[in-house]
Structure 1
Amino acid sequence: MSEVIEKVRLKFERIKPKVGARILNSKEEILSGEISDEIRGLLEEVGVLVFPKIDFTDEEQVAFTNSVGGTAQEMRGESVFKISLDRNVNKEAVEYLKGSLFWHVDGTMNRMPIRGSVLSSKVLPTWGGNTEFANCYTAYEDLSQETKDRLENLRVIHSMWNSQLYHCPEPTLAQLEDWMSKGEEGKGERELPLVYKHASGRKSLILGNTAERVVGLSARESAKLLHGLREHATSEPYHYAHEWSLGDAVMWDNTGTLHRAMPYDPDCGRMLHRTIIKGDSWG
């Protein structure tokens, strides 16, 4: 009598109707690769996935990231980036990481987008430090058709220096010039579509603190449009705030989801390990 082998199925529960889901499979099932395609599909559907207390090692997190699209190198060429405001850990990146306290999309200076990211909790903060997410797929889909038609072909200039002004509004000239030199080509800015068209046919908004201005609009109209869309996208029912437990992993669709860290004690040693998933094209 032949043995019947049951295929692993994705098990999850929705967090909110328009954003988020918790994955209920075991670590072994997740790392098997058998449900990787289903995870990718669900990620685009809900924007952010929570793996409660999965306790990934760095090696397991890289393996998982590879299974759902491939691990891209971080800014210094590493596979795992340690997110901490401890200068002994991240001396060169502490000022850059302060921008993560405001709504943003990762990698807007990159030639190729970051398709998604995975964060694992290693050290909890003494207070604060939740990570908030906003589903820009469903936020876009709930806009009126008139608004969608207006946004369809707009382009936005994104710049790193714009994001740094959120936490350092009066930089020195040397600071400003350093920010303006960042990015893969050293230009410090990139023109991106306001409405990102995914291979699946779905569309989402690309917003956040790097969004400096809309091409072809006055500074006044550009600011009103970008801030208004961000306010819409980060409101209920598109918003989810994750309160970290030690060992949690959270994965989000970086081309369809905004995120930010909530304030926390900068000296508490809060530590998250990040891996990023390769993207295809900004379009």
Structure 2
Amino acid sequence: MAVTATPITPRFGAEISGVDISKPLDPQTVQQLIALQDQWGVTVYRATGLDDDGQIAFARNFGHLESLPPREGRPRLYLFNAGNLNAQGEINWDPAATTYRKGDQIWHTDSSFMDLRTSYSMLRAVEVPSTGGPTWFADARSAYDDLPQDVKDRIETLECEHSLWWSRKQGGADITREQIEERHRPVHKLVSPHKGSGRKMIYAGAHCYRVVGWSWEESRELIDYLNDFVTQDKYVISVDYAPGDMVIWDNLAVFHKGGQFDWNERRDMRRATVREAPAPEGEDDPFGELFRSAPRIEPAKAI
């Protein structure tokens, strides 16, 4: 059976069938899947049959995997918890955890707050709530194509600072701008060429903090305008999950956000993420320094 891509919309998103990604893939098939990913930005694989090891093995076909280094007897982790469970497999009611997840429900690109950006994110459903919990995606390449020419000219050479703590503040965390500005804020081009397709995207989202060299007010006016432009209904799709489904999105082509669900229900979602090239030699720790200097994430107090 040939690999088939069934479009979700004419320009954006596709469901992939005709390939068993739980088994080793030959190089030709891998390249075909990467080409489909480059074309559609978001690809959906249903009933994959993947377990943790299989997801990790499949993700390695796409590049260098981000990971959490071993500590206190815990092995290196290649899958990130994107659900609502704690390390014991129980629903996590820690206010810091629930507040952190609220930041995931704002339009963003994964890890733009790192010096080396994340390219592909691969999110697999293990357990899902009875309703809710979709992932929403916005086509940042088509949005760029449709920008007025004067806006394209204005933003072509701009660079922006990015901060994880800025998105968490927007999600309701009690973090000050002074705390944000005490910490490293990587700088990325606002107009980002997409290597796989040759198209350009608007690289902003909730982590995008301010335009380099601009005032705070001017920065926010432009960034908010661009974020609103990308996330218009005509550029947006959503994907619902059944256990075993996996969605891949390219953070260098799309924005995404998590959909709301009832926190009383279990949601076990596991994400593998692939580092933007160039990959480091051997294993690395892309998140250690970031989180060692992290402010404590707590809900903002009511006034």
Which band: TM-score by shorter chain?
A: 0.7 to 0.9
Kindly indicate whether residue 57 of structure 2 is the aligned counterpart of residue 57 of structure 1.
no
The 5 A counterparts of 1:242-253 are 242-253=239-250
Q: 1:75, 1:117 → 2: CA distance?
A: 19
Aligned to 1:210: 207
Q: 1:29, 1:269 → 2: CA distance?
A: 25
Amino acid at match of 1:232: F
Amino acid at match of 2:32: E
Kindly indicate whether residue 137 of structure 2 is the aligned counterpart of residue 138 of structure 1.
no
Amino acid at match of 1:69: G
Aligned to 1:162: 166
Aligned to 1:4: none
User: What SS does the corresponding residue of 1:258 show, helix, strand or coil?
Assistant: strand
Q: 1:280, 1:43 → 2: CA distance?
A: 16
Kindly indicate whether residue 5 of structure 2 is the aligned counterpart of residue 12 of structure 1.
yes
How many aligned positions are there?
Answer: 266
Larger strand proportion of the pair: 1
User: What SS does the corresponding residue of 1:108 show, helix, strand or coil?
Assistant: coil
**8 Å contact from structure 1 (residues 160, 188) kept in 2:** no
Distance 1:172 1:47, change over 3 A: closer
**8 Å contact from structure 2 (residues 2, 19) kept in 1:** no
Per-residue CA deviation, residues 27-67 of structure 1 (Å, 9 max, x unaligned), is 15874133211221221221100001213111111111111
- Alpha-carbon offset, residue 145 of structure 1: 2.5
Aligned to 1:21: 14
Aligned to 2:265: 268
- Alpha-carbon offset, residue 188 of structure 1: 3.9
Q: 2:22, 2:262 → 1: CA distance?
A: 36
Q: 1:134, 1:224 → 2: CA distance?
A: 20
1:119 pairs with one of 109, 115, 123: 123
**8 Å contact from structure 2 (residues 3, 19) kept in 1:** no
Aligned to 2:299: none
Consecutive unaligned residues of structure 1, counting only runs of 5 or more, are 1-7, 182-186
Aligned to 1:223: 220
Aligned to 2:32: 38
Identity, in percent, stands at 27
Q: 1:80, 1:62 → 2: CA distance?
A: 7
Q: 2:203, 2:105 → 1: CA distance?
A: 17
Give the CA RMSD over aligned residues.
Answer: 2.5
- Alpha-carbon offset, residue 180 of structure 1: 6.5
Distance 1:127 1:167, change over 3 A: same
**8 Å contact from structure 1 (residues 37, 68) kept in 2:** no
User: What SS does the corresponding residue of 2:247 show, helix, strand or coil?
Assistant: strand
Q: 2:68, 2:190 → 1: CA distance?
A: 25
Distance 1:9 1:69, change over 3 A: farther
Aligned to 1:83: 82
1:189 pairs with one of 173, 181, 185: 185
TM-score, structure 2 normalization:
0.79
